[in-house]
Amino acid sequence: MATLSEKETLHQVEDSKPTATDQEISAVNADFAAALSQNAPNPWGRGHIALYGCCLIVYLCSTMNGYDGSLMGSINALPNYLHYYNVSENEQAGTGIVFAIFQVGQMTGALFVWLADWKGRKLPIFLGCAGVIVGTIVTATAKTMAIFIGGRFLLSFFCTWATTAAPMYIVEIAPPLYRGTVSGLYNTLWYMGSIIATFAVYGTHLHFTSNLDWRLPLWLQLLCPGIVCLGVWFLPESPRFLVATDRLDEARDFIVKYHANGDGSHPIVNLELNEIQYNLRDVPLASWSNFFDLRILVKSRSRRYRSMLNLAWSWFGQFSGNNVISYYLPLLLTNVGVADTNTVLLLNAVYALTGWIAAAAGARFHDVFGRRKMMLGSTFGMIICLSITAGTAAGYVNTGSKSSSDASIAFIYIFGVVFAFAYTSMQPIYPAEVMSNEMRAKGMWLFQFTAGLASFVNTFAAPVALKNIKYWFYVFFVFWDCFEFLFIYFFFVETKGRTLEELDEVFEAKNPRKASTRKVVVRRREFVDKEGAHNVHVSKVDQLA
């Protein structure tokens, strides 16, 4: 009988200074760890570079919401726009319906999210962007406020088709090792749209005295959706959609080309494909009978937990004080003594620029700090910023102090940076991560509908509140954000370091939040017999974090 000597190595995933191998192992389950610890695909290989190019096209879908939010906030400060539609200075704070109609269109458009399950992720992206182009033409040529509002409804209705399918697509095609970074970058492009809009309005207001100072920025809303309409036809379909529609060869080809850099023999190919197939084993092929069946969101305890997180994060992402600042920053600045139109427009543009920098940085740190730590840290920071903003705004209102006004503006900007660092980059991505493959399309409908409802409530109510209670509106969000902090701490799961399929194990646990915050340890045992043959066994051990 052969004698065996045993060598055992432990790889603890969440070390204070992880090595490259630790990061690779933490991104996947034990089988992936065994495959990747010795031969991880090059993140700068030809396939990965091509995949990043695909993502860049889809990222532009995110610019549409950012463009609209900052555009309307900026042109609402322009005298030519207000005069053309006969909006008096007293009514300027009461134009909530012009803003809120975007959320009405968003909630209505979300009802058509089943297109992503029926025809794949690419078609609704194309149709959505084409519809945005039509809506833009209507608003840019509108002669009455009623037509202008109707155009905004069309714009948001179709925008939702694209912005629902796009994050699903990004999450499903992202390489497992870098899903947090690649996916997280999607919503940071919200700020790219915001920057284009705010600087467009600022520039046109400086150089035009006619209605072109607000008409031209409306026409520029065609830019990004036009690029997506052309580029989407060159993109591959999501491998998870391909497996769900029984197109296994195409799914395998995708994984080989984009995740394994063309190496069909790389172990990640079969591991990833088998994981997707196993996860979808009980899911029927897409048909009319299940497109509209929402019971899939609630028919088990784990599904209800997933849906709860989806609902909560959807609401938090739009109702933490951020939407009020995005849409009504010019009015907030007026409340603390900034009245010059050019100054207001420039400060609006700078707000978008600082937010983009913070959001882009935050997207990278998803895979470093984890989702929960970033959510909790940002929420705590938002509470501090809003508390100080409320106090300094009260000081300005009561005393007219310029230092109080300057402090209010500073902390409004700091709030934007803190919010963008965690919330912006994770808003559509976290719901897509916590939904299982068969729940994802319907879960993203739930996300869009809930986010639209939250936005509608605070954009419609905000002008009234800002006019009547002023800085007390900040106080309300201080207490609300405290509630968010506690809810995230006790219920939100950590998705860092797990494949989409591996998260199923987390949600089946008795306490998903606790299960998700365990450290993953990969145990590698190497047995050597007297003839020198090696037998390697890799197993995974969970330890409390």
* 3-class secondary-structure state, position 537: strand
- Lowest mean per-residue pLDDT among 120-124, 294-298, 380-384, 517-521: 517-521
Q: What is the pLDDT of residue 58?
A: 96
Q: Give backbone dihedrals phi and psi of 167, rounded to 5 degrees, phi first.
A: -65, -30
What is the tens place of the pLDDT at every residue in 55-87?
999 999 999 988 987 888 788 878 899 889 887
Coil, strand or helix: which one is 526? Answer: strand
Percent of the chain with pLDDT over 90: 37
Query: Tens digit of pLDDT for each residue in 533-543?
Result: 444 444 444 44
Does 314 have pLDDT greater than 60?
yes
Residue that the structure tokens 């889809």 belong to: 58
> 303 or 27, which is more confident?
303
| pLDDT at residue 91 in the model | 54
- Distance (Å, whole) CA 106 – CA 114: 15
Please give the average per-residue pLDDT across 125-145, as a whole number.
Answer: 96
pLDDT at position 204, please? Answer: 92
Burial of 479 (0-12, 13-18, 19+ CB in 10 A): exposed
Dihedral sign from CA coordinates of 73, 77, 80, 86: positive
**Quick one: pLDDT at residue 381?**
97
> How do the domains of the chain map onto residue ranges?
5-38+500-544, 46-491
pTM over 0.75: no
Q: Does residue 232 carry a pLDDT above 90? A: yes
- pLDDT value at 185 more than 90: no
Average pLDDT of every residue of the chain = 82
First CA to last CA distance, the chain: 42
The contacts of residue 35 (CB under 8 Å, 6+ apart) are 266, 267, 268, 271
The average pLDDT across 179-207 equals: 87
The region of weakest confidence among 40-44, 227-231, 233-237, 375-379 is: 40-44
Q: List pLDDT tens digits, range 239-289.
A: 988 998 889 999 999 999 999 999 998 888 988 898 888 877 766 555 555
Instruction: Say which CATH architecture domain 46-491 belongs to.
Output: Up-down Bundle (1.20)
pLDDT at 237: 93
